[in-house]
Amino acid sequence: MDTSVNSGSADDGGLAEAVQGPGAVELLLIRHGESEGNVAATEAREAGVEVIDVPARDADVDLSGTGRDQAKALGTALGRVAAELRPDAVVSSPYARARQTAEIAVETAGWPLQVRTDERLRDRELGILDRLTRVGVEQRYPEESERRAWLGKLYYRPPGGESWADVALRLRSVLADVNSLGMGHRVMLVCHDAVIMLFRYVLEGLSERELLDLASREAILNASVTRFVRPSGVGPWTLESFNVADHLTELGVEVTEHAGDTSARPR
């Protein structure tokens, strides 16, 4: 990988073209700020309707006003990080809400970094269940609802979509690139709630039960920070902090949760 942060366009390679040697020493995993889709999905669930009235396809849904404030607050907090401890690569999901979060945060922090995108960091694809609430799935695809309940979140793959295991597979390839970076690099990845859960699954070697227990009791907060460290640049990662959003509270910005379907365990 060309690790220069001042060359190329915002979409020219993400974490590809890695070089051999010891890898990164720090990973910052950021969930995007609140999106218009988050707001619409929460409203739909609370209203008990079947379809989420999103303003665009999933990849093109923008941040809400609150989400932009969260991204700025994140950037303010990141701007306080000592220069020698700052990430030297910022890579985002190409989805608008994540890319906007990354760009606003980097600009607010005053970092001389270019945000790159990597499609492997995109949100889980839901296939025929896209835009449906849990009620909508139960009403329109009762057999899929039963199959999802039987298999659980890790292994259930909706027609045309992905299981969590599918997402984990693409994250393993991201980590293979991170593991091939030159020694000492710090990488910030801006992505989605399920992606952060699955990074924990892969990096910590969690079992299915441990992952689904975690997913059922924890919701990844918008614009939160999860940090893994590995001082030697090789070997296993250590979870240093998880789902931290204190930077929002400190700056008087609303903390939002917007959890997905919490029915994670197979039955």
In sequence order, which residues have a C-beta less than 8 Å from that of residue 57 and are 6 or more positions away? none
> For the domain that residue 246 is a member of, what is the CATH number?
3.40.50.1240
Domain that holds residue 153: 26-250
**CB half-sphere exposure, 254, CA atoms < 13 A:** 11
Determine, yes or no, domain membership for 196: yes
- Number of structural domains found in the chain: 1
Residue type, 100: Q
| Ramachandran category for residue 116: left, alpha or beta (phi over 0 → left; psi -120 to 50 → alpha) | beta
If the chain, 267 residues long, is cut into consecutive pieces of 10 residues, what is the mean pLDDT of each piece?
Answer: 33 50 89 97 95 95 98 98 94 98 98 96 97 96 96 97 98 90 84 98 97 95 97 93 98 90 63
Determine, yes or no, domain membership for 257: no
Residue type, 14: G
Point out which residues pair with 190 in neighbouring strands.
30, 92
Determine, yes or no, domain membership for 39: yes
Separation between Cα atoms, residue 71 and residue 102, nearest integer Å: 7
**pTM for this prediction:** 0.90
Determine, yes or no, domain membership for 7: no
Determine, yes or no, domain membership for 84: yes
Determine, yes or no, domain membership for 256: no
| Ramachandran category for residue 251: left, alpha or beta (phi over 0 → left; psi -120 to 50 → alpha) | alpha
Determine, yes or no, domain membership for 218: yes
Determine, yes or no, domain membership for 17: no
